[in-house]
Amino acid sequence: MNNHAHYQAAHPSRRDFFRTLTRSTLTGASLLEYAFHRAAWARAMAASTSNDKLFDIQKVADGVYFAKARAQAEINSNSAIFVNASDVLVVDAHSKPSAAASLIAQIKNEVTTKPVRYVVNSHFHWDHSQGNHAYRVAESKIDFIASEPTKQLLANLAETRLKESLAAVPKEIDALRARAGNSTSPAEKAFCEDQIKQLEAYQREMQSYTLELPTITFAESYVIKDSAHDLHIEFHGHAHTAGDVTVFCPQKRVVATGDMIHGFLPFVADGFPKSWPKTIDSVAQLGFDQILPGHGPFHPNRQRMVDMRNYIEELTEKVEAGKNAGKSVVELQRSITVSSLKSMQSDSYAKFVASNLYQFEPNFGPAAPLQDGVNTNIADIYKNLDRI
C-alpha cells in the first residue's frame, strides 16, 4: 500500500478535479462548483424557514435514512444513516467538523435521539472525512471504521492536501469579490458575499483541524450484528480510491456506496479505471434494491449504478485503444465526445448527470460542461491505465 499512497500524493486532489472544469465566472473554480454555488444562490432567493440546515433527510427503509447534502462553498458529501437498536451508524463525515455537527443535530431532531456510535469513512477524500472530529466531541463513545488502505491514505495525505486546499481559498475569495464588483444584480452581490463568508469561515475553522484516524480497520469486511439489522462494511476492490468500502444492510436491501457509485461524473485522479467496473460488478452481487450514494440524489434502483459502471468501462477501453495507437491525451479529448459514447446515451445517462450538476446554470447547456468533465476523465484514465 505504500506505493498507492506515494502515487496518490503526487496526483491531483478532488478539489483539483472540480477546478479543472473551468467555464464559469468564478476564476479558478469549475462549472461543477459553480453549479453548487448557483444552487445555493437559488435557495437563498427562495422563501425558506430552514436555510440553516445543511442536509435534506429522507427515510428510505425502516431504520435507514439518506442525508443529501445541500450546496455549500466547500462541497459536503451525503451521508447514510442506519438506526440500530440502541445507537446509530453514519456513513461519511463531510468537509469540515461544523458540517458534521450540523448533521448530528439534524439526526437528533429529525431521526432519533440515540447516540451515534460508529462513523464509516467510505474513503479518504476530504469531503468525506474532515468532519470526523465533530463526532469525537459530540459523542461519549465513538469509533471510526474504514479499510486499512483508507487509514493509511488519511495518515499520509489528509493534512498535506488540506494545506494545499487552504492555500487556494484566497484566490477563490478574490474571484468572488471581482464577480460581485462587476455585477449590477443585488441578488448576485449578496450571493457572492455569502460565499465569501463561507470560505472565510472554512479557513478559520480548518486552521485548527484535528485529524481523526479510523479506530477500526479491516482488510475485506467488518460486520456489525444488531437486533435491528446487520451492517456489512465491505471492501470489494480498487475503484474511486485504493480503499473504497460499501455499507450493505441485507435485511433492508440497501447499500451505501460513497463515491464508488454516485450521481456525478466519476473522479479518476485517485482511481483505478480498469478495476473500477469490476469492483462495481462485485458490489452488484449483493442483495440490495436501493443505493445511498456519496453525492447526488438517492438511487431507488440499480439503473444509474449500471450507467456509471458502463461509462467508466467504455471510456477506459477507448482511452486504452487510443494510447496503444500512439494518440495523445489532446487527440483523444478531441475524438471521444459525449455524443460518441454509447454509455452516455443509454438510459439518458448524460441528461441525468447534467441535471445533477448543471441544472442551476441555464446559460450553459449540458453538452459543453459534460465534455469538459469527460476530457478530465480521459486525462486521468490515460495516466492511470496501468493501475490495477
| Cell numbers 488519511: residue | 154
The confidence band for 19, taking pLDDT boundaries of 50, 70 and 90, is very low
Q: How much is the pLDDT for 52?
A: 78
- What DSSP designation does 267 have? P
Average pLDDT, integer, range 363-368: 43
Q: How much is the pLDDT for 1?
A: 40
Number of H helices, E strands in the chain: 14, 12
Q: How much is the pLDDT for 178?
A: 96
Per the model's pLDDT, the better-predicted residue between 176 and 19 turns out to be 176
Strands 216-218, 116-120: pairing kind: unpaired
Q: How much is the pLDDT for 14?
A: 45
The confidence band for 368, taking pLDDT boundaries of 50, 70 and 90, is low
Average pLDDT, integer, range 269-298: 98
pLDDT at 234 over 90: yes
The confidence band for 73, taking pLDDT boundaries of 50, 70 and 90, is confident
Q: How much is the pLDDT for 359?
A: 42
Q: How much is the pLDDT for 51?
A: 54
| Cell numbers 475485506: residue | 220
pLDDT at 249 over 60: yes
Q: One-letter amino acid identity for 185? A: S
Nearest to 230 by CA among 249, 204, 202: 249
* pLDDT tens per residue, range 121-140: 999 999 999 999 999 999 99
- Pick the range with the lowest mean pLDDT from 39-53, 172-186, 206-220: 39-53
Beta partners for 341?
A: none
Q: How much is the pLDDT for 356?
A: 83
Mean pLDDT of the chain: 87
Nearest to 79 by CA among 50, 48, 39, 111: 111
What percent of the chain has a predicted confidence (pLDDT) above 90? 80
- Pick the range with the lowest mean pLDDT from 16-20, 120-124, 278-282: 16-20
Q: The whole model's pTM is what? A: 0.87
Rounded to 5 degrees, φ, ψ at 294 are: -75, -25
> Going along the chain, which residue ranges are E strands?
55-61, 64-69, 79-83, 88-91, 116-120, 143-147, 216-218, 221-225, 230-234, 246-249, 254-258, 290-293
The confidence band for 71, taking pLDDT boundaries of 50, 70 and 90, is confident
Q: For the chain, how are helix, strand and coil distributed in percent, rounded to 5? A: 50, 15, 35
Nearest to 66 by CA among 50, 77, 52: 77
**Domains in the chain with CATH codes:** 2-150+211-302 (3.60.15.10)
Per the model's pLDDT, the better-predicted residue between 15 and 234 turns out to be 234
What percent of the chain has a predicted confidence (pLDDT) above 70? 84
Average pLDDT, integer, range 251-262: 98
* pLDDT tens per residue, range 146-201: 999 999 999 999 999 999 999 999 999 999 999 999 999 999 899 899 999 999 99
Q: How much is the pLDDT for 358?
A: 53
**All 3 cell numbers of residue 115?**
447516540
